[in-house]
Every structure is written in structure tokens, then in C-alpha cells.
Amino acid sequence: GAGVSQSPSNKVTEKGKDVELRCDPISGHTALYWYRQRLGQGLEFLIYFQGNSAPDKSGLPSDRFSAERTGESVSTLTIQRTQQEDSAVYLCASSYASDTQYFGPGTRLTVL
């Protein structure tokens, strides 16, 4: 595809449920990033993939958050036992090497 895509675009879930967010990076981009943006705030780094491995998981806020990447392509961010404070827009970005990052449209997660 021409750009980074994410699905779903919107997700409303009940507190305590698990959610999976998907990111399809730009073809050929080796690096993939997940960020979280709470309302009115800047982006918060979550995790970074180089290929299929994640050398930097330092931003994951708790053990309820996990992510994987397969085939050096699609990535899935999973949030278990969602809490209301998880409500945010989750943005995925990809880049070739560690240069300019290209962002997807984001997934807006609302935890009721």
C-alpha cells in the first residue's frame, strides 16, 4: 500500500476486555513503532521493532500491554484487561532504518 494503515479506526470496549490493534507498515520498512496519544497530549512512545524483534520495549506502560510483529510486516498491539486510562489514540509508524517515520491514521480506543 501507499502508506501505513491501521485497524480498526475506532474501538469501543468494556473495562476488563482484551483488545487487539493492527498495523500494516509501508512495504520494505524495517522499523515499526507504536505510540499512544492521550487527549491533548503529545505522543508517548510504547515499543519499537527492528525486523521482527523488539529491542526497545521500554515504553510499554504495564504487563497488560504486549506487541508482536511477524514477517517483518504486520504488527499487533494487544492490551489485556483494558482500563479506562487506556483510552487514547494508538498510532503506528514505520521507517526505513531509523530515519523519517511515517504514521498511520491511528486507532481511537475508548474503554467504558
The residues that touch other proteins, with contacts defined as CB under 8 A, are 4, 6, 31, 33, 35, 40-43, 45, 48, 50, 55-56, 59, 91, 93, 98-106
Shortest Å, Cβ 46 to other proteins = 9
Residue 10 or 83 having the CB closest to other proteins: 10
Helix/strand/coil for 103: strand
Please identify, using beta-carbon distances, which residue of 4 and 111 lies nearer to other proteins. Answer: 4
**Which CB sits closer to other proteins, 35 or 111?**
35
φ, ψ for residue 80 (rounded to 5)?
Answer: -95, 150
Report the nearest approach of other proteins to the CB of residue 32 (Å): 11
